[in-house]
Structure 1
């Protein structure tokens, strides 16, 4: 049995950051990981997916600028794109991440971590034998993330569909790819694989990126169709069959049959808590873990915390890392008997999860947003004003790319005169969203934003145009 101040289950970016904050605060910590150190983001999500998308985005950008367009003599080199993807996934080798843990003084326990009692974690090796029992003096942090949700569609599981993992790590590009889903993963992979040569059919029952502002899905659907993607809004899979020749048949609820070489299911996520031992501490296995703003789990007597996807607050890596910093600091403070500032501005409280979450969808065009949509702001009871502007109408947009198309929306709380939501659609808008994140998180008054003058000629000139449209 080994004793530590804190035990972290899950060595993805969230677990790593939480452990690092605990060590920096002067406590001891152990981290448990059953797969690769670095987690989903490093090997099957953020990094390799953006590597798959970046080459096509660069080619698109070159073709939209006269002078550069003429220098482009061919299409994407698929093999080179996949090699670059492999490099960003470290060829699915975690030696570099393990080395970082060692340098930070964080012991790694390889195996499946399971809570057997309060502050006790049992680590079972790959061969099924118990290797170590760990005890925590102060806290256990669950950072096990989430996995792809595979719905109960007839024949789907037997057909062995791709999830985000298999798609991102694919060694070959299928001639025909069918996608069930219309969210972020579905839209990004439709973009990536259509660029790489697949004939893509996207079955978007609820629409494309329907949780965003309505114009977002409209822009992306138009762009995907221009690239040859068959975007089927409202189409629903009724059953799936893997044929003898390895192809896949998707039978829609209206009887139509879609044929593909591979099928990606991308309809949502499920928490990795199925075999975590939650039943031993009065919680439900397979459930999301509900937490307060300090990431402390409800229904447990103060020692269990959960950060990242597993608490379902925000399923984004950067917000998980933000939560990890907060939970690490608050555990250190509580262990040392120091006061914990739970006020909205306190560094021990992850309040941005409620009001200022930035997200980028790396489709073509890119989607960058932060805060509330207009619909969500109204549902929250805010008296808002929505200000829209054609992003292509700025001088910077015309210089950036020929035929630039885009849109900007600012959602203003009229009672407080602050921005509560901001959405951009357009080529290469990802790098613009942090300015809006600062405005939303900092609750910068509209009157003060007039003094944040955007440089000319840049696409960021849209800030001035939005303020002009809003008026003083």
Structure 2
């Protein structure tokens, strides 16, 4: 037998990942009563199955790769990793898949938590099915924010429900390295998990249906990552896909490839994209289609729904599937909700706290492979696709004293794209050890639209890899 309660709040947030937490933090801090609804762990995908555990697995592999090439360091650092210690560190970084700390933070911030599955039932109305089977009905005075994130998208492969494949969740939380791991997918998850598990002792086969890794980035980035994966012992294959796979009675995975080849593995990871977690949150009750990405305007207000009460931030809106972009959106959604609740006029200027312009013009991302890849803004592929004129400036990072101090055998490349009319940087890609620390400077240059002439006066310290900015400007001047 179920019981029903009706509770009223100023703001209801569905989804307690980093995005939902940030929306709730901002509305609660402004004095709006806020409840957050979560069906799994408070802290979301990033804390337990994505950002935190994946980087905990990758960091030892990348540090070993760097250390083995630095003169004077004990050659023993090149020995196999201590798998038990790495996995224990991963478990700590994932809080052992317990959310006590996050729950305590919500309480300290004055945010109520309701555990259960939340779904819209109409305008400003949410129904929550609790773990005990009760139904709690919520009503929002001002806003409902959807921050339900995304999930791994599996391919339409016959019998996949019986295959028990890995997705990103299993890949980041596995308790032991599989002896043989087949990774399907050439994107960020695929290459990062191939890097991690190869370093932890698995024999990895990486299958890409494209002709290179990281196909959305500059081609040189994927080429460098491919080179290092193969040097580490991974089997990287291009132009091939899985047409059939089954798990035998002994647990072995038997795979048939599009080129007629056969593989056997202990586990198979499908890293073939993401899908919105929007299929069971009641979108149909407000005229939207369940299972679709939820479209918003730059204030993160959901389009196609009358009134300014429904918001979507983070992966579920499909604008930019990164935790940092979701948190950026959360800050804006929270500011918009607060402004509207108190009757303030929204500032629609592109630099205002009420407009998510960075989702389109300067989205930074790092791939934590060996070597690292960091990219923000436009790529030459996207420029060609859209017919946008750009000036391309390249530089070999191995020619920098700072890079050679980092690793004597340094291999890497930098590229910036310049708008020839406005004379500002519109895109940057770096591939090489340690380049993730170059990304924020590139993001600032693009977002602030710093004229190239002015960049000459941003002096990089010597000897650091940041000196590449000066060298690229010199290359452009001399060309």
User: Shorter-chain TM-score category?
Assistant: over 0.9
Compute the displacement of 1:12 (Å).
0.1
Aligned counterpart for 2:255 among listed residues 250, 258, 264: 250
Q: Report what 2:461 is aligned to.
A: 455
Supply the distance in 1 between the matched residues of 2:156 and 2:138 (Cα, whole angstroms): 37
Compute the displacement of 1:381 (Å).
4.2
Aligned counterpart for 1:232 among listed residues 212, 218, 237: 237
Q: Report what 1:58 is aligned to.
A: 63
| Per-residue deviation, residues 172-206 of structure 1 (Å, max 9, x unmatched) | 10000001111000000000000000000111112
Q: Report what 2:123 is aligned to.
A: 118
Supply the distance in 1 between the matched residues of 2:161 and 2:414 (Cα, whole angstroms): 41
Supply the distance in 2 between the matched residues of 1:354 and 1:189 (Cα, whole angstroms): 27
Supply the distance in 2 between the matched residues of 1:236 and 1:375 (Cα, whole angstroms): 23
Q: Report what 1:134 is aligned to.
A: 138
Q: Report what 1:298 is aligned to.
A: 303
Instruction: Indicate conservation of the 8 Å contact 1:25/1:329, yes or no.
Output: no
Q: Report what 2:447 is aligned to.
A: 441
Q: Report what 1:194 is aligned to.
A: 198
The TM-score with structure 1 as length reference comes to 0.98
Q: Are positions 1:312 and 2:318 aligned together?
A: yes
| Per-residue deviation, residues 355-381 of structure 1 (Å, max 9, x unmatched) | 111100001000011111122234444
Q: Are positions 1:342 and 2:348 aligned together?
A: yes
Q: Report what 2:176 is aligned to.
A: 172
Q: Report what 1:388 is aligned to.
A: 394
| Per-residue deviation, residues 107-166 of structure 1 (Å, max 9, x unmatched) | 000000010111011110124331x11100111000000000011012222201000001
Supply the distance in 2 between the matched residues of 1:383 and 1:73 (Cα, whole angstroms): 46
Q: After the TM superposition, which residues 14-413 of structure 1 pair with which residues of structure 2 at under 5 Å, given as runs?
A: 14-70=19-75, 72=77, 74-130=79-135, 132-206=136-210, 207-301=212-306, 302-413=308-419
Q: Report what 2:434 is aligned to.
A: 428
SS in 2 for 1:4: strand
Compute the displacement of 1:28 (Å).
1.3
Instruction: Indicate conservation of the 8 Å contact 1:50/1:362, yes or no.
Output: yes
Supply the distance in 1 between the matched residues of 2:134 and 2:32 (Cα, whole angstroms): 29
Query: Cα–Cα, structure 1 residues 280 and 456, in superposed 2: closer, same or farther, change >3 Å?
Result: same
Instruction: Indicate conservation of the 8 Å contact 2:64/2:78, yes or no.
Output: no
Supply the distance in 1 between the matched residues of 2:74 and 2:129 (Cα, whole angstroms): 56
Q: CA RMSD in A?
A: 1.1
Instruction: Indicate conservation of the 8 Å contact 1:383/1:415, yes or no.
Output: no
Compute the displacement of 1:255 (Å).
2.0
SS in 2 for 1:402: coil
Compute the displacement of 1:82 (Å).
0.1
Paired residue total: 471
Query: Cα–Cα, structure 1 residues 266 and 260, in superposed 2: closer, same or farther, change >3 Å?
Result: same
Compute the displacement of 1:405 (Å).
0.2
Compute the displacement of 1:471 (Å).
1.5
Compute the displacement of 1:223 (Å).
0.9
Supply the distance in 2 between the matched residues of 1:194 and 1:245 (Cα, whole angstroms): 23
| Per-residue deviation, residues 324-349 of structure 1 (Å, max 9, x unmatched) | 00000011101111111112111110
Supply the distance in 1 between the matched residues of 2:338 and 2:384 (Cα, whole angstroms): 39
Unaligned runs of 5+ in 1: none
Compute the displacement of 1:216 (Å).
1.0
SS in 2 for 1:166: helix
Unaligned runs of 5+ in 2: 1-5
Supply the distance in 2 between the matched residues of 1:79 and 1:71 (Cα, whole angstroms): 18
Compute the displacement of 1:71 (Å).
5.4
Query: Cα–Cα, structure 1 residues 69 and 406, in superposed 2: closer, same or farther, change >3 Å?
Result: farther
